[in-house]
Each structure stands twice: as structure tokens, then as C-alpha cells.
């Protein structure tokens, strides 16, 4: 059974710091690439359709990997699964920065897989370990995620123009998941039950026949569509 944050003492503060640092990684690698799309397209001679695929790959990864996140967490634990997510993002950034169009697309897909795990598991971790402060911590990690996304968009162009090039600028974004990894390492040994919900109904097939579930899915899907279209193309 998971200890409460108050009983963890300093580890509770470290856990919160880790949550916020992981939050910084969940948008910055996506928003950081958008201002450099013209340079990437020119360098590789990509068509408009290929450039669109590049910005769509993370979303496809979300759709494919997100349903598997709960299964991964139940098998390995939320803490270890989040550590794996940070590793995937780091690996994806490294691959994406290689001088190859195939690596560009492959690395972007790997990044999307890591972000998909984090998107699903981080709210579940907050609900499990901070059940009395869900609203506050959810607001804090959402704000941190948005601030990091804005910072990533703002920093990549100056870096690219001052000797790093677009590949170096994208590689510099690895500082976010690397810091998150370092802060999250103490959580590696945590082996608390990885139940993301106390309700068995959520794990049954009945959810696929729930009209409320489909309404929420449609609402969040439209909201995400608008968000990712704007951050994917407006900076370019």
C-alpha cells in the first residue's frame, strides 16, 4: 500500500518535483519542433503532406499507445512505467536529431509513444498518491506543462540561428526529460499497486458501450484537435 505524502517526508516533496518535471516533457518536444518546420522541410525536401505526417505522428502514437498504458502500469508499476516513458522521449529526441529523414520520422514516433505513457499515467499517479489534493496538483502540472511548451517554442529558433542548427536546437530539448529522469530515479524502487482506478467497471468492456464515455471522448478529442493544430502549425 502506498504511503501518504505526509509520511514520506522529504520523499513527498521529491515526488511532487518529479511529477512537475515529467509534466515539462509532455508537450515541449512537440511544440519545440513547430517553429523549425520550415527549416526541416527545406533541409529534407519534404512535401506538405510529409510535413503534415511529421506533426501527426505523435498523435497517432497517442491513439495507439494510450490504451496500453494501464496494462503496462499494472505489470511494471506506475513509477517504473513513467521512468520508461522518459527514457523513450530521450531516445526519440536523439534519433530525431540524426541526419536522416527516416530517423526524423522514427524518432518523432518514439517520442510520441513516451508522451502517450506520461499523458495517461501521470494523472493516475496524482489521483493515487495525492487523493486529497488532486485539483491543486493537476492544476500545477498542467500549468508547468504549458509553461514548458511555451519555453520550448521560444528557445529553439535562437538556438538554431546561433550555431546549433535545427538538429542541435531539437537535441537541446533533451534537457527536460534528462532532468525529469534524474529527479524521478528515487521513485524507481516504489512497488505500490498500479491500479489507476478503484472501479472494476472501468476495466470492463462495458465502457465501450457507455454513451457518457463516448461523449467525453468526443469532447476531449475536438479540444485536442484544435490545440494540436494550433501549436503544430501556427509557430511555423
Domain that holds residue 68: 8-191
User: Is the pLDDT at 4 greater than 70, yes or no?
Assistant: no
Query: Is residue 77 in some structural domain?
Result: yes
130-146 pLDDT per residue, tens: 888 899 999 999 999 98
Query: Is residue 196 in some structural domain?
Result: no
Query: Is residue 112 in some structural domain?
Result: yes
Query: Is residue 3 in some structural domain?
Result: no
Instruction: Give the domain CATH number at 90.
Output: 1.20.1250.20
36-94 pLDDT per residue, tens: 999 999 999 999 889 889 988 988 998 899 889 989 999 999 999 999 999 999 999 99
Q: Which of 46, 87, 98, 55 is nearest to 181 (CA)?
A: 87
CB atoms within 10 A of CB 158: 10
And the C-alpha cell for 9? 517526508
Q: How many domains does the chain have?
A: 1
Query: Is residue 211 in some structural domain?
Result: no
pLDDT at 193: 52
Residues 81, 107, 25, 86, CA torsion sign: positive
User: Is the pLDDT at 204 greater than 90, yes or no?
Assistant: no
Contact 151, 31 (CB under 8 A): no
Amino acid at each position: 500500500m502506498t504511503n501518504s505524502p505526509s509520511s514520506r517526508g522529504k520523499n513527498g516533496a521529491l515526488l511532487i518535483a518529479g511529477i512537475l518535471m515529467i509534466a515539462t516533457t509532455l508537450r515541449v518536444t512537440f511544440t519545440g519542433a513547430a517553429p523549425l518546420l520550415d527549416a526541416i522541410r527545406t533541409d529534407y525536401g519534404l512535401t506538405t503532406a510529409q510535413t503534415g505526417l511529421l506533426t501527426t505522428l505523435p498523435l497517432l502514437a497517442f491513439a495507439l499507445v494510450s490504451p496500453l498504458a494501464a496494462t503496462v502500469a499494472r505489470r511494471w508499476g506506475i513509477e517504473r512505467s513513467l521512468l520508461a516513458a522518459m527514457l523513450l522521449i530521450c531516445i526519440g529526441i536523439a534519433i530525431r536529431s540524426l541526419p536522416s529523414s527516416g530517423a526524423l520520422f522514427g524518432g518523432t514516433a518514439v517520442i510520441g509513444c513516451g508522451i502517450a505513457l506520461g499523458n495517461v499515467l501521470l494523472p493516475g499517479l496524482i489521483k493515487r498518491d495525492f487523493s486529497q489534493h488532486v485539483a491543486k496538483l493537476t492544476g500545477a502540472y498542467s500549468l508547468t506543462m504549458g509553461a514548458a511548451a511555451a519555453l520550448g517554442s521560444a528557445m529553439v529558433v535562437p538556438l538554431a540561428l546561433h550555431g546549433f542548427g535545427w538538429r542541435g536546437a531539437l537535441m537541446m530539448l533533451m534537457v527536460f526529460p534528462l532532468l525529469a529522469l534524474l529527479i524521478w530515479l528515487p521513485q524507481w524502487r516504489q512497488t505500490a499497486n498500479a491500479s489507476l482506478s478503484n472501479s472494476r467497471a472501468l476495466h470492463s468492456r462495458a465502457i465501450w458501450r457507455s454513451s457518457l464515455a463516448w461523449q467525453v471522448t468526443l469532447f476531449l478529442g475536438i479540444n485536442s484537435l484544435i490545440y494540436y493544430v494550433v501549436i503544430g502549425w501556427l509557430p511555423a
